[in-house]
A and B are shown apart, each in its own frame.
Chain A
Amino acid sequence: MATGLFKEGIASGRLPAAQVADNFADLHPRLDRHEAVVEADRCYFCYDAPCMQACPTSIDIPLFIRQIATGNPLGSAKTILEQNILGGMCARVCPTETLCEEVCVREVAEGKPVQIGRLQRYATDVAMAQDKQFFPRAAPTGKKVAVVGAGPAGLACAHRLAVKGHDVTIYEAKPKSGGLNEYGIAAYKAVDGFAQAEVDYILAVGGITVKNGQAMGRDFTLSSLAETYDAVFLGMGLAGVNALGGEGEEASGVSNAVDFIAELRQASDLTSLPVGRRVVVLGGGMTAVDAAVQAKLLGAEEVTICYRRGKESMNASTYEQDLAAANGVTIRHWMQPKRIVGVNGATVGIELEYTTVADGRLVGTGETVTLAADQVFKAIGQSFDAAPLNGSGPKIALERGRIKVDADGRTSMGKVWAGGDCVADAREDLTVAAVAAGRDAAESMHRVLVTA
């Protein structure tokens, strides 16, 4: 029987441990001091810098880069963390090619932006290695705030509130904090347990208690929080996953890309993690790319992303698409799943229908193709699960399936704010956007709390 790479079906140990370790190494290795200084020197210190405008957390990028250039990485880290306490994770996961680096004048001039993300990582790494805390807490206000969800939005909110002198309790359903930083981000973007290290760094500010394994809707209710606390922040992310609506979805071998990634992120030994020989990923976003690339890195022989529209509609950035291609992932467009082909309950293939746009609507052409596949990952989007809002559900208004908030992050319910992926606002579902939302909601809560 074939072993390793060519084992049929879904199997672990496709690649030697050393190869797996190498595959999952840091996507962008850290810059050393000299590299950072040289790269920092490329920054023009623009007036009213476009990069700063493009950053959802408005980090003063020219200033922090200049501080690196002048040998003050701690000062640089402070500049970053002042605006974005998760600046370390953002430095690793932000799609900088569509944010700050996209508008860098050097990108415009020569197609080679200043590597802002890597510089940000350099500075924040220096500060975190020294466990340097920059923001002492203000005098206690006596106010108590509950935060639901210890993802980027919740952590950013909690940190800012703690700095302002409020006491914060975070309720987090999962055993570990960090949200998708811990369970979702591709492994090669946050190596060496960075997500937990960052959580510890953030919590070191003091005044924040985290209760893990506490799920709203199961262990407590929103109304109970609203009664007990002076204010509540909801940063619950997107707990639901969109369904395929195709035939055979229940076959073994079909699963959610986010679950696969979460399992991968939590695996203590990646060689023990099974993956198909032939993998098909359905979707066109960051999750699809992350699942496909990581399946490939685990040793899947053939990985294909199937997306129902054209390249230009894909949510994954060009950079992410190139990353997939560079790792040997095939991306196919204009096809949607029709049926999972199963034999004895196990997946052996997927039948897809070609699509086209007719009268502005996406329609199937009738023509189909069947791809061999032992494993199919669904990455067709996550959705907000409103059920945990339970008793108070009716009181919190939703909008496009997510929590409705005003410009300050306030929900329709008194004392309750929300931010991050779980809200309906114009911001994209990005770590950095969640940080901005959490931070801004904290500022709004603070304004209310100190006048109350």
Chain B
Amino acid sequence: MADLSSTFVGIKSPNPFWLASAPPTDKAYNVERAFKAGWGGVVWKTLGEEGPPVVNVNGPRYGAIWGADRRLLGLNNIELITDRDLYVNLREIKQVKKNWPDRALVVSLMVPCVEEAWKAILPLVEETEADGIELNFGCPHGMSERGMGAAVGQVPEYVEMVVRWCKANTRMPVITKLTPNISDIRKPARAAHAGGTDAVSLINTINSITGVNLDTFSPEPMIDGKGTHGGYCGPAVKPIAMNMVAEIARDPETAGLPISGIGGITTWRDAAEFMALGAGNVQVCTAAMTYGFKVVQEMIAGLEAWMDAKGHRTLSDVVGRATPNVTDWQYLNLNYVAKAKINQDLCIKCGRCHIACEDTSHQAITALVDGARHFEVMEEECVGCNLCVNVCPVENCITMEPLAAGALDKRTGEVVKPVYANWTTHPNNPSAQVAAE
């Protein structure tokens, strides 16, 4: 039986599934319920500095996009950090940690960008015996206008500075939560690393407008006719988040830096993919907000079953296994040739592959053969782009079949070479030619 127990920057939890800092972790009531449901850990909803707490809007906080059957695909929010009193939160954190010693309890923090502010709050958190802190450098709305959250996360120098202050002022492990609203995610990760962070977590939410009301011409979510860019999360952001995790995982400058993967994780499979790309554990928000805490039971059972089936005993057998396979385009093997193949027994003759290829790709799929509706790939035209596979409604009906070395590529008229060759040495590459001369 696979062992799901996790140790992340020294913090132990019975499984790698943590709830991300957000409404699900806003107070003891929720967190107690989450732990009862089986979550391995939580990152408490972000605390701010002492004094009157922030106020939230009193209208809608969320916008969303849905599939046809109202499946929630993406969620957007304009909520701020906790609007509860600091000391109430701290008391609850202390009590919950006492009640659940085997679960991870990390406290998310966001205070003004001055060392005094951090110096003031860190001892208060330490006193709760929480397992660690997460620096919220990600919140993209509201707090960033006040010089916090993403306003810090978007300036690598500030990231490094604040991390350094925290490391200097607490014994607790420090996890730096990154904003995706930046063009190169490696920059803040490197900065956090330089400042001495124990780990990074990502992604926080992405600036977004989920819709526009075409009657009132106001963006959604709408507050009294106006809207603002909220933070996007949920299944839709997963591909973006995974790329960012992988970029950090394979960056030589941050090699080995623990990563807590966040963004759209909804099923065990999502979690496994994040971990394979280099995340040591994962955090979840939208899936819990959509389905309730019970979803973790599917995640645990699914991850266990997959690990058992594949013979992975512990999480370390999985974490980072896909990282070496993430590379730059220029290193992809140009001698790898694949052709689409349509399984005629599975084909339901919808013709989507044909029209996709005909109108937008390489005119490589028939529509009629001998007067009958028949869809078949013409190998001499197929560039192997895979579009037909992706638009085909039947799973595994169209497959990409690699040509073996020595086989003839009917499109180019060339024989498939047995050796690896990439763009860096390709004759059409001006830089390569210069090098060759």
Contact = CB atoms under 8 A, between A and B. Distances in A.
Nearest to A110: B348
Interface string A42-76: 00111111100000000000000000010000000
Contact of B69 (A38, A46, A48): A38
Interface in B332-380: 348-352, 354-355, 367, 373
A105 B67 CA distance: 22
A50 B352 contact: no
B68 A40 contact: yes
Contact of B350 (A37, A46, A69): A46
A47 B69 contact: no
Given A109-B348, A109-B394, A41 B69 contact: yes
Given A44-B393, A109-B394, A50 B68 contact: no
B354 A47 contact: yes
B123 to A, nearest CB: 54
Contact of B70 (A34, A40, A44, A50): A34
Contacts of A105: 348-350
Most buried by A among B68, B348, B349, B350: B350
Contacts of A45: 352
Contacts of A44: 350, 352, 393
Contact of A69 (B68, B355, B373, B394): B68
A38 B355 CA distance: 24
A325 interface: no
B256 to A, nearest CB: 45
A108 interface: yes
B351 A46 contact: yes
Nearest to A103: B349
Contacts of B351: 46-49
A433 B355 CA distance: 30
Contacts of B70: 34
Contacts of A38: 68-69
A41 B373 contact: no
A44 B394 CA distance: 11
Contacts of A50: 349, 373
Interface in B300-358: 348-352, 354-355
A88 B47 CA distance: 60
A106 interface: yes
Most buried by A among B69, B348, B355, B367: B348
Interface in B70-89: 70
B352 A48 contact: no
Interface residues of B, number: 15
Contacts of A106: 348
Interface residues of A, number: 17
A49 B67 CA distance: 24
Contacts of A40: 68
A41 B68 contact: yes
A47 B354 CA distance: 8
Interface string A350-372: 00000000000000000000000
Contacts of B348: 105-106, 108-109
A69 B66 CA distance: 12
A37 B352 contact: no
Most buried by B among A38, A44, A106: A44
B349 to A, nearest CB: 6
Interface string B167-199: 000000000000000000000000000000000
B352 A46 contact: yes
Most buried by A among B67, B349, B352, B394: B349
B367 A37 contact: no
B255 to A, nearest CB: 45
Interface string B281-303: 00000000000000000000000
Contacts of B394: 109
B367 A47 contact: yes
Most buried by A among B67, B70, B393: B393
Contacts of B355: 47
Interface in B46-76: 67-70
A48 B367 contact: yes
Interface string B217-233: 00000000000000000
Contacts of A108: 348-349
A47 B352 contact: yes
Contacts of A109: 348, 393-394
Contacts of A48: 351, 367, 373
Contacts of B68: 37-38, 40-41, 69
Nearest to A48: B351
Interface in A10-48: 34, 37-38, 40-41, 44-48
Interface string A163-192: 000000000000000000000000000000
A37 B67 CA distance: 10
A47 B70 CA distance: 27
A7 B292 CA distance: 59
Most buried by B among A37, A69, A105, A108: A105
Interface string A97-121: 0000000011011000000000000
A156 to B, nearest CB: 29
A104 to B, nearest CB: 9
B393 to A, nearest CB: 5
A40 B367 CA distance: 24
Contacts of B67: 41
A105 B350 CA distance: 6
Nearest to A41: B68
Contacts of B373: 48, 50
Nearest to B70: A34
Contacts of B350: 44, 46-47, 105
Contacts of A34: 70
A33 to B, nearest CB: 12
Nearest to A106: B348
Given A46-B349, A46-B350, 19 more contacts: A34-B70, A37-B68, A38-B69, A41-B67, A41-B68, A41-B69, A44-B350, A44-B352, A46-B351, A47-B350, A47-B351, A47-B352, A47-B355, A48-B373, A49-B351, A50-B349, A69-B68, A108-B348, A109-B393
21 contacts: A34-B70, A37-B68, A38-B68, A38-B69, A40-B68, A41-B68, A41-B69, A44-B350, A44-B393, A46-B351, A46-B352, A47-B350, A47-B351, A47-B352, A47-B355, A47-B367, A48-B351, A50-B373, A105-B348, A108-B349, A109-B348
